[in-house]
């Protein structure tokens, strides 16, 4: 596996995303709109808004982040896949590039969703570094899962429907780990178990990705 090849594929994929805006221009506005609708539907009850805020933000991020699995990017084109195969790029390198690209897009989507959620739901940061670390692990896990799902259903014509359906149920433990951190800290416990849950899910997903890469990223 070559770091230079991963970097080149990620750079090209992100360059393409800045031109097409599939995720950030196509998905982010709808994620923000969903948050606005959710906040408006709870009346002016600030206490309730605070209670559901993190969960609502997490769910919106998960649902709209999973849409990136439906995106057809550089690595989904036959020309680039053939170029990779002929150039001797290892399947693991291609899958890693896909994971890194998806993670970058999810972090960008998070950067949009978090401030909107904080403002709309009147959230105050609770959990500090625990929350930040668990969120990062959850995003890495979600990116791996999204990349795996995107590759699994790449050849199907119903990709836009099937990929998010695969991602959402399997990412529930990651969402749960993030939204339980503030409550655990508020009640005076250490949220280590939630952090470890996110890390364990990541480990399972990364192991699956490494194992399945030769079958998933070969030339079809």
Partner 1 sequence: MRARTPVSAAEGIVLDERLELRADRLLAGGQAVLREVDVAAGCGEVIGVAGPNGAGKSTLLRALAGLPCGQEVSREVPRPVGRCGVALIGHDPALHPQLTLAENLDLAVALAAGTRGSVPDALRRVGLQAAAGRPAGACSAGMLRRAGLARAWACRPGLLLLDEPTAGLDGASRTLPADLARETARAGGIVFVATHERQAFEAVAHRWLQVAGGRVREERP
Please report, as ranges, the residues that interact with partner 1 according to CB under 8 A. 4-5, 7-9, 12, 15-16, 19-20, 74, 77-80, 82-89, 218-219
Least separation in angstroms between CB 206 and partner 1: 23
Least separation in angstroms between CB 162 and partner 1: 24
Least separation in angstroms between CB 77 and partner 1: 6
* CB of 8 or CB of 165, closer to partner 1: 8
Q: Are 170 and 126 in contact (CB under 8 A)?
A: no
* CB of 9 or CB of 197, closer to partner 1: 9
* CB of 87 or CB of 124, closer to partner 1: 87
If one counts every other C-beta atom within 10 angstroms of the C-beta of residue 152, the result is: 17
The angle subtended at Cα 200 by Cα 97 and Cα 175, nearest 5°, is 80
Least separation in angstroms between CB 99 and partner 1: 18
* CB of 44 or CB of 86, closer to partner 1: 86
Least separation in angstroms between CB 86 and partner 1: 5
* CB of 4 or CB of 169, closer to partner 1: 4
The candidate with the shortest Cα–Cα distance to 194, out of 148, 127, 140, 145, is: 127
* CB of 9 or CB of 201, closer to partner 1: 9
User: Distance (Å, rounded) from C-alpha 8 to C-alpha 22?
Assistant: 20
Least separation in angstroms between CB 201 and partner 1: 31
The candidate with the shortest Cα–Cα distance to 131, out of 52, 39, 58, 32, is: 58
Residues 174-198: b if buried by 16+ CB within 10 A, e if exposed: bbbbbbbbbebbeeeeebeebbebb
Query: Largest alpha-carbon pair distance within the chain?
Result: 60
Q: Are 152 and 218 in contact (CB under 8 A)?
A: no
If one counts every other C-beta atom within 10 angstroms of the C-beta of residue 39, the result is: 19
């Amino acid at each position: 596996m070559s770091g230079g090849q991963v970097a080149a594929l990620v750079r090209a994929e992100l360059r393409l995303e800045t031109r097409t805006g599939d995720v950030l221009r196509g998905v982010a506005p709808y994620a923000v709109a969903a948050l606005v609708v959710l906040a408006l539907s709870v009346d002016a009850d600030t206490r309730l808004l605070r209670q559901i805020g993190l969960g609502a933000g997490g769910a919106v991020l998960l649902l709209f982040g999973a849409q990136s699995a439906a995106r057809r990017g550089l690595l989904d084109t036959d020309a680039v896949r053939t170029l990779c195969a002929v150039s001797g790029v290892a399947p693991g390198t291609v899958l890693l590039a896909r994971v890194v690209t998806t993670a970058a897009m999810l972090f960008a989507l998070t950067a949009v969703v978090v401030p909107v959620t904080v403002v709309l739901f009147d959230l105050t940061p609770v959990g500090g570094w625990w929350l930040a670390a668990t969120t990062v692990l959850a995003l890495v896990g979600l990116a791996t899962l999204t990349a795996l799902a995107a590759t699994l259903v790449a050849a199907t014509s119903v990709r836009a429907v099937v990929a998010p359906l695969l991602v959402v149920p399997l990412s529930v433990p990651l969402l749960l780990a993030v939204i339980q951190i503030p409550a655990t800290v508020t009640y005076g416990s250490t949220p280590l178990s939630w952090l470890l849950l996110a890390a364990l899910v990541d480990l399972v997903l990364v192991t699956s990705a490494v194992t399945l890469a030769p079958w998933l990223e070969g030339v079809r």
